[in-house]
Amino acid sequence: MDAFFTADEIAFRDEVRAFIRENLPTDLAQKTRDGIHLAREDMARWNTILDKRGWAVHHWPTEYGGPGWTPIQRFIFEAECASGDAPPLSVFGLYLVGPTIYTFGSSEQRARYLPGIRSGETFWCQGYSEPDAGSDLAAVRTTARKVEGGWIIDGSKAWTSEGHFADLMICLARTNPNVKPQAGLSLFIVDMKDKGISLQPVITIDSGHSVNTTFMDNVFVPDDGLIGEVDKGWTYAKFLLSHERTNNAQVHRSRREFTRLKDLAAALPGSGGGRLIDEPAMCRRFTLVEANLVSLEITVLRVLADQTEGREPGPEASIVKIIGSELQQRITELAMEVLGEEGIKAEHEGDSLLAQEAQGWTERHLFRRVVTIYAGSNEIQKTIIARSVLGM
């Protein structure tokens, strides 16, 4: 795909690559390869290393510490991080809360919260979904009631990813029950250490713990914990969901994982004595995934090129979440075929290449059923395409 980049961009890529090679601790790279739910300390360490170089918040405007890169440079940076096995940074602070606060927050909020996100010292979680408000987010029932000096929040939030180690939550709550559902919601900054907050872990089918149910009972948020204006929460939340569409494609992670899978299939013996990857059926499956992956990469680049050159991205922007998530699942499905019986073991013992690679793949394969469900389910995305792109 080099044909797609300018000489300057290639030089930039080499610079990023060299930086990662020299600065990414090997144990962090190993942890990234091994599992899917990384510990807070691990994400924070890499965040801090990037921050020292000025690269932690690479998609933020320069006035808030961003490096001033073009969208294409960010693509290259993310691709290099993924291919070097750098830990993924916590999405909530960097992609959700940061942009919400610098776009809609007060200058005090910017000064108070942005530096911690940039440095990796504070972790955030997202409290939008509720047991009865999933795809239908406007059905949020958690309430925020005005009191002297602030707000009292009551309710429960479902699926709070990373809530068990987050310091703060960005929380969508109902401030006005008397208007249409979307119009009565507001966004708050909630301290996870508040005594009114309790968490219940939710174990997912990969046996991991990354999500929680969060109960909020009489949680006090001071006035300066309201983001922007009261009752505007829905507008803010939607603005952001439409903002970072290409991130959801997870194209770099897919590329990295696919490369690793290819390497594994090349290192494993096939049934006929040669390499597994040379068996016609395997070879064909890898090749078909490669064709899809390249087309996803180029589609994402198209969106970013439009953004870089100041154009509004075309309709292709709405497909990347769908095709990216489906491709992630196809890659792990292929991994299960490569792993054979090793892939269905819940724990993998021994130091064979197969056993070492299997743990991560089995977990990923199971957990990745989620990617077509969260961040706007694919059914909802398809309805949006039919309506707003195709005019149906």
Partner 1 sequence: MRRSEQTRAEDTLLRDTSRRFLEDTYAWDEGRLRRADRAAHWRSAAELGWFALGLPERLGGLEGDGNQLLSILEEAGRVLHDAPLLANVLLAPKALSAMNEAVAIPLAEKLAAGEIRFAYVPDGSLHLSRSTMRLEGKGSLALGAAEATHWLVAVGSRSADGASLLLLPASDAVRRADSRLIDGRSASTLYFEDLAIPDDAVLARGETAFRLLEELNDRAVIGACAEAFGALEGGLELTVDYVKQRTQFGAPLSSFQAVQHKMAESFCEIEQMRSLLLWGAVALEGSPDERAQAASALKVFLGREGLTAASRCIQVSGGIGLTEDYRIGHVYKRLQTVSALFGSTEAHIARLGDLFIPSTQHET
Distances (CA, A) of 274 to 71, 224, 354: 43, 66, 16
Q: Pattern 260-279, binding to partner 1, x per CB under 8 A?
A: -----------x-------x
Residue type present at position 168 = L
- Among the listed ranges 3-11, 21-29, 45-53, 371-379, the one in contact with partner 1 (CB under 8 A) is 371-379
CA-to-CA distance for 164 and 23, rounded, in angstroms?
29
Look up residue 390 and give its two tokens.
């195709």
Q: Which residue in 160, 247, 250, 332 binds ligand FAD (CB under 6 A)?
A: 160
**Chain CA centroid to CA 340, Å:** 29
Stretch binding partner 1 (CB under 8 A), from 68-76, 191-199, 222-230, 340-348: 340-348
Between CA 138 and CA 69 the distance in angstroms is 35
Cβ proximity to ligand FAD, 123 vs 286, nearer residue: 123
Active-site residue, 244 included: yes
Size of the site for ligand FAD (CB under 6 A): 18
Using rule CB under 6 A, residue 129 touches ligand FAD: yes
Minimum CB distance to partner 1 smaller for 18 or for 205: 205
Q: Which of 121, 244, 316, 326 is catalytic?
A: 244
Distance CA 109, CA 371 (A): 32
Determine if 1 is a binding residue for partner 1 (CB under 8 A).
Answer: no
- Residue 388 interacts with partner 1 (CB under 8 A): yes or no: no
Q: Could you tell me if 320 and 314 are in contact, meaning their C-beta atoms sit under 8 angstroms apart?
A: no
If one asks whether residue 90 binds partner 1 (CB under 8 A), the answer comes out as no
Residues 6+ apart with CB under 8 A from 49: 23, 24
Of 380, 266, 361, nearest in space to 321 by CA: 380
Q: Determine which residue in the list 1, 111, 139, 353 makes contact with partner 1, applying CB under 8 A.
A: 139
Residue owning tokens 């199971």: 366
Q: Is 68 left (phi over 0), alpha (psi -120 to 50) or beta?
A: left
Asked if 148 interacts with partner 1 (CB under 8 A), we say no
Mark residues 353-382: x for contact with ligand FAD by CB under 6 A, - for none.
Answer: -----------------x--xx--x-xx--
CB count within 10 Å of CB 284 equals 10
The answer to whether 313 and 239 have CB atoms below 8 angstroms apart is: no
Q: Is 70 in the site for partner 1 (CB under 8 A)?
A: no
In a 13 Å sphere around the CA of 282, the CA atoms on its Cβ side amount to 23
Nearer to ligand FAD, 355 or 373 (CB): 373
Of 19, 128, 151, 236, the residue at the interface with ligand FAD (CB under 6 A) is 128
The partner in contact with residue 346, picked from ligand FAD, partner 1, none with C-beta cut-offs of 5 to 8 angstroms by kind, is: partner 1
Interacting residue with ligand FAD among 126, 250, 299, 359 (CB under 6 A) = 126
Q: Is 211 in the site for ligand FAD (CB under 6 A)?
A: yes
Q: Between 119 and 377, whose beta carbon lies closer to ligand FAD?
A: 377
Strand 185-191 with 150-157, pairing: unpaired
Q: Is 158 in the site for partner 1 (CB under 8 A)?
A: yes
Interhelix angle 320-339/280-308, nearest 10 degrees: 150
Residues in the site for ligand FAD, rule: CB under 6 A? 125-126, 128-129, 134-135, 159-161, 204, 211, 370, 373-374, 377, 379-380, 383
